């Protein structure tokens, strides 16, 4: 994610999104954390099509926070987006569902709406 060609790690706990940049020898640099609260999942993809891997954190009540990769291991503040109104719709999949070259989001609609999926199409706007 920092562009050095070494594998990096990203993960979440209930309170933080964390990234560890790889050193290339099986070890990692100290963790960098963002306090986003009530996190369920993180996805890594080039959401704004600039050639750098961004972070998308799934939060409580279907919100997602997009941290754009600014390069050199730096990320912008989390831009919030509403994804669903279900309190536990924090799990989602990323894929190019409409084959336009941009990663889109799909996730379950929970609660009284059985067997439904929300899909957010990425417009590619930065």
Cα distance between residue 30 and residue 10, in whole Å: 12
Does any domain span residue 84? yes
25 domain-assigned: yes
Token look-up 């336009």 returns 100
**Tokens read off for 114:** 């059985």
Q: Which domain holds residue 96?
A: 9-120
Beta-bridge partners for 85: none
pLDDT string in tens for the chain (126-residue length)? 999 999 999 998 878 899 999 999 999 999 999 888 778 889 999 998 899 999 998 887 667 888 999 999 999 988 887 665 565 556 788 999 999 999 998 877 766 656 778 788 888 765
Classify 56 as helix, strand or coil: strand
Domain assignment of residue 101, yes or no: yes
Instruction: Count the domains in the chain.
Output: 1
The token pair that represents 57 in the structure block: 């954190």
Residue 60 CB contacts under 8 Å (≥ 6 apart), including other chains: 37, 38, 40, 87, 88, 90
């Amino acid at each position: 994610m920092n562009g050095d060609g070494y594998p990096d790690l990203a993960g979440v706990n209930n309170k933080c999104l964390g990234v560890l940049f790889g050193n290339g020898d099986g070890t990692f640099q100290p963790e960098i954390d963002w306090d986003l609260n009530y996190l369920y999942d993180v996805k890594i993809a080039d959401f704004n099509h600039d050639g750098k891997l961004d972070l998308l954190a799934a939060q409580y009540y279907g919100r997602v926070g997009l941290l754009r990769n600014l390069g050199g291991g730096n990320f912008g503040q989390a831009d919030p987006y509403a994804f669903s109104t279900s309190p536990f719709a924090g799990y989602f999949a990323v894929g190019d569902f409409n084959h336009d070259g941009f990663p889109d989001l799909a996730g379950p609609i929970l609660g009284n709406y059985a067997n439904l999926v929300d899909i957010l199409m990425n417009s590619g706007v930065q």
